[in-house]
Amino acid sequence: MGRGLSSAWFVSAATAGLLLIAASGAVADDKLTEANMTQRDYDRITNTTNSRPDDPAAGPKVEVEPIHDLNRAQEGALKDEGHATKVIKGKEWTDKSPEDRDAHLRRIRETAPEGSRFLIEVPNGDVWLLPPPETTELGLHIYLHLVRRWQDFEKVALPVAVAPETGSSHSDRSGTKVARTVKTEERL
């Protein structure tokens, strides 16, 4: 009887493990990456709007420079060699409205060294403050070897939107927004 219990326990544990693996795979498939990103995703992540449009002294919205997501080695090099600091985490950035993003960048810019730039990783949304490079050579090194800017041709090559599922009028990943309305017409 002891063996029967341990066999049943093993089967239950194995089944639970397979379910956990299957569930984690589904979550991983839903994660936004450069491979499954659309132009709409790109625009949603990089969008900022002037938070002080009625104040001419405030100037235009704060610009962010889109770069490709960094790996850990690139992050470390950007910190060590470029003296950059991650100032906003991606989740916090994507949860904000475009106006709130601009207001947050303005607050950071008030204490940042003159000539600093904001870099945003696309698609993860992490925002970095890059102080002005000490030398032209360091500036070139940063942009040639540490970060890769998004180029216009790369954005244009992204699909405009996620294709709708067969039999559905939804095109977004969560299936909650109507992308198009399917109309039927009766003929007499």
Task: Tell whether 62 and 9 lie within a shared domain.
Answer: no
Is residue 55 included in any domain, yes or no?
A: yes
- Distance, CA of 188 to chain centre: 51
Is residue 112 included in any domain, yes or no?
A: yes
Task: Tell whether 129 and 44 lie within a shared domain.
Answer: yes
Q: Quote the CA–CA distance of 175 and 172 in Å, as a whole number.
A: 5
Task: Tell whether 21 and 59 lie within a shared domain.
Answer: no
CA dihedral over 105, 107, 113, 114, signed as positive or negative: positive
Is residue 170 included in any domain, yes or no?
A: no
Kindly give the confidence (pLDDT) of every residue in the chain, 188 residues in length, as a single tens digit, with 9 standing for 90 and above.
455 444 444 444 444 443 333 333 333 457 889 999 999 999 999 999 999 988 888 888 899 999 999 999 999 999 999 999 999 999 999 999 999 999 999 999 999 999 999 999 999 999 999 999 888 788 888 988 899 999 999 999 999 987 666 655 555 555 444 443 334 344 44
Task: Tell whether 138 and 69 lie within a shared domain.
Answer: yes
Domain that holds residue 1: 1-30
Nearest of 20, 22, 23, 45 to residue 33 by alpha carbon: 45
Task: Tell whether 78 and 14 lie within a shared domain.
Answer: no
Is residue 111 included in any domain, yes or no?
A: yes
Task: Tell whether 7 and 44 lie within a shared domain.
Answer: no
How many structural domains comprise the chain? 2
